[in-house]
Amino acid sequence: MSKKILLSGVKPTGRPHIGNYFGAMRQFVELLNSGAYECYFFLADYHALNLIQNAALMRQNSLDLAVDYLAIGLDPSKAVIYKQSDVSANTEAAWIFDTLVTVPYLERAHAFKDAESKGREVNVGTFNYPVLMAADILLYDADVVPVGQDQKQHIEYARDIAQKFNNAFGRTFKLPDALILENVAVVPGIDGQKMSKSYNNTIPLFATKAEIEKAVMSIVTDSSSDLPVNVYNIHKLFKSQVELEPIYETHKGKYKILKEMLIADIESFIAPLRERREKIAADVKNIHTVLAEGAERARAKADLKLAEAKRAIGVS
């Protein structure tokens, strides 16, 4: 029996943070190692182009994210690791899907509404974001897509688009399911809001000890309560509730001590990852080889599916 297909991606828009890791990337590694899935992990560089319009930075961020993927334990001999832009079929399929969705439908997307509500002039790439994302997923026949809560709506768009295509042209695309872990669906940042690069409230996944200290010391605490909720909620990622309860009870109201304990726990978690990352980053040639081989394998898969879709719509 063939394995289920698992696919996910991360935008190379800067250093990933522990929200990306616990919300999504850790699942990538665990699910890959479970052996239950045929896995595809990519760098969503065309999505990042909406934000990063600087060639040197785009190159650097992409290389860095590929290193991050390997450093967290994604093994290129077991998973296909590639850049979205290396697979032209993705953007071609996005065009086909563009013809199936309406403007009001895309106007309902959270990311678009957010950008618009901030009074920003939204570029067409941001507006079409969910359509390219549907192509990313559907061309690989993905069954499951591990992501954080903020991507749930995008997976629903992908399902809808698959259904619209299948209704119009006959069954071609599989309907994917989002895989969201409830307890880490929205990892909070140091201000208690969702951790996000754009909110400037992150703890980088490969942070140095000094960066960890600085971030933890700036966690916002509310002096009206004995329990520093924002500290606790981040601490929960690194220690179980059973371990944490007596610690927080003993040091009730002692925010500094609790923050120091959190720093020690984050550091002991991150230090080995950071060391592994340094070794992997030293071999740039290997990173390029991984991406080139991944691109070839991804193209082989996506091109076949695109050809099927092109036959279905009557252009081949």
Binding site for ligand TYM (CB under 6 A): 8-11, 19-20, 23-24, 44, 47, 133, 136-137, 145, 147-148, 150-151, 154, 184, 186-187, 194-196
Q: Indicate the DSSP class of residue 185.
A: S
Distances (CA, A) of 280 to 70, 171, 288, 300: 7, 43, 12, 27
Residues in a beta bridge with 39: 6, 79
Q: Indicate the DSSP class of residue 199.
A: G
User: Of 44 and 258, which has the nearer Cβ to ligand TYM?
Assistant: 44
3-class DSSP state of 207: coil
3-class DSSP state of 286: helix
Tokens of 43: 């760098």
* Residues in contact with 151: Cβ distance below 8 Å, sequence separation at least 6, in sequence order: 145, 178
> In the complex, what is the shortest distance from the CB of residue 13 to ligand TYM, in angstroms, rounded to a whole number?
7
What is the phi-psi region of residue 89: left when phi exceeds 0, alpha when psi lies from -120 to 50, beta otherwise? alpha
Which is nearest to 101 in space by CA: 68, 70, 132, 141? 132
> In the complex, what is the shortest distance from the CB of residue 167 to ligand TYM, in angstroms, rounded to a whole number?
22
User: Of 45 and 250, which has the nearer Cβ to ligand TYM?
Assistant: 45
Distances (CA, A) of 65 to 14, 16, 182, 244: 8, 8, 25, 32
User: Of 156 and 260, which has the nearer Cβ to ligand TYM?
Assistant: 156
- Say how far apart CA 86 and CA 65 lie, in whole Å: 15
User: Of 152 and 209, which has the nearer Cβ to ligand TYM?
Assistant: 152
> In the complex, what is the shortest distance from the CB of residue 19 to ligand TYM, in angstroms, rounded to a whole number?
3
> In the complex, what is the shortest distance from the CB of residue 285 to ligand TYM, in angstroms, rounded to a whole number?
26
Q: Point out the residue whose Cβ comes nearest to ligand TYM.
A: 23
3-class DSSP state of 140: coil
User: Of 41 and 248, which has the nearer Cβ to ligand TYM?
Assistant: 41
Within 99-208, residue ranges assigned H as helices are 103-107, 110-117, 124-127, 129-138, 152-169
> In the complex, what is the shortest distance from the CB of residue 135 to ligand TYM, in angstroms, rounded to a whole number?
9
> In the complex, what is the shortest distance from the CB of residue 107 to ligand TYM, in angstroms, rounded to a whole number?
18
User: Of 114 and 226, which has the nearer Cβ to ligand TYM?
Assistant: 114
User: Of 61 and 246, which has the nearer Cβ to ligand TYM?
Assistant: 61
> In the complex, what is the shortest distance from the CB of residue 184 to ligand TYM, in angstroms, rounded to a whole number?
6
